[in-house]
Structure 1
């Protein structure tokens, strides 16, 4: 059940949130809101793959 929820969230993240790797964002120059999005996407991706 939990894994299914995270798979849905991962798909929604892919559609709704910006991809900073495509924009070649430098993490040392990223703003706090950009780091928050990166962290959220990493958390959801990690839990959807478990």
Structure 2
């Protein structure tokens, strides 16, 4: 159940949230909001792969 929820959340993130890797964002120049978004996407991805 938990894994299915995170897989769904990952798909929603992929469609709705911006992809900073495609924009070639430099992490040193990223704002706090961008860093928080990267952390959120990383956490969701990690939990969907377990």
Runs of 4+ in 1 over 6 A off after TM superposition: none
Runs of 5+ unmatched residues, structure 2: none
Runs of 5+ unmatched residues, structure 1: none
Matches within 5 A, 1:1-50: 1-50=1-50
Provide the TM-score with structure 1 as the length reference.
Answer: 0.99
RMSD: 0.2
Provide the TM-score with structure 2 as the length reference.
Answer: 0.99
- Equivalenced residues, count: 50
